[in-house]
Amino acid sequence: MKVLVAVKRVVDFNVKIRVKSDGTGVETGNVKMSMNPFDEIAVEEGVRMREAGTANELIAVSMGPRQCQETIRTALAMGVDRGILVETDAELEPLTVAKLLKAITGKESPDLVILGKQAIDDDCNQTGQMLAALLGWGQGTFASGIEFGDGKVTVTREIDGGLETVALTLPAVVTADLRLNEPRYASLPNIMKAKKKPIDTMTPEDLGVDAAPRLKTLKVEEPQDREAGTMVETVAELVDKLRNEAKVI
């Protein structure tokens, strides 16, 4: 089985986000970038599938500027076989990413596509669902458990009321949730080996996809500072403040 896993380059989750002075976006210059944490989970699940013999080839795909090769190299060091970079300086939106993934899926013919459920920079949580709709494949989103058998994949997914289990006929699209697994750290030997693994580079034009943005960001602002709370002496005083000041009861 061939598995395709999508990885995104984002501002590292440990970095405090700073808004640009002109309000056009967030500051990314001289800022540590890394793989989206949910995509790390997707990569780890693919690597485990290959180690278990369920998958025989694992391909990582990233889209964006040339620096996204670093993100692909991280995936290769974790155990991915080869990488594909769709190089573009355009600001890619979820629908565009889904169209690009559809085009790559047409070239590679994978049996399963795994993505992180969302990226921590835009929090859109749309790409996996859009890809499944474009391909006409079954989808298992927010996966916390994945099992294979008889040409199907069984996905345990997290929903508001608890857990739901769905059975999908392959090929299918799965998006990884936080509790699916714990990603491994790439060892130094594997990091060195990853430098020799192949990365194919192409452009949106090569795939026949228009990457021009459909949305325009008008302004980006810092959230307002929260006001300090106050201490109350009695329950009666708390109720009085909730009724007369906060007006929530």
- What are the 10-residue block averages of pLDDT along the chain, 249 residues in total? 95 89 85 94 96 94 95 95 94 94 96 95 94 96 93 92 93 95 92 92 94 89 84 92 88
At 18, list the tokens.
């700073």
Q: How far apart are CA 50 and CA 60, in angstroms?
A: 13
pLDDT at 39: 96
- For the chain, what is the domain count? 1
Residue 237 in domain: no
Residue 232 in domain: no
The rounded mean pLDDT for the chain is 93
At 96, list the tokens.
């565009």
Residue 226 in domain: no
Angle at 141 between CA 177 and CA 43, to 5 degrees: 50
Quick check: helix, strand or coil at residue 177? Answer: coil
Residue 228 in domain: no
User: pLDDT for 32-65, tens place per residue?
Assistant: 999 999 999 999 999 999 999 999 999 999 999 9
pLDDT at 17: 87
pLDDT at 26: 86
Residue 16 in domain: yes
pLDDT at 151: 86
Q: How far apart are CA 239 and CA 249, in angstroms?
A: 8
Residue 236 in domain: no
Which CATH number fits the domain that encloses residue 87?
Answer: 3.40.50.620
The whole domain housing 132 covers 2-219
At 141, list the tokens.
């989103």
Torsion, CA 66, CA 70, CA 75, CA 77, rounded to 10 = 140
Residue 112 in domain: yes
| Residue that is written with structure tokens 């920079």 in the block | 121
pLDDT at 70: 94
The one-letter amino acid code at 209 reads V
Residue 229 in domain: no
CA-atom Rg of the chain in angstroms: 21
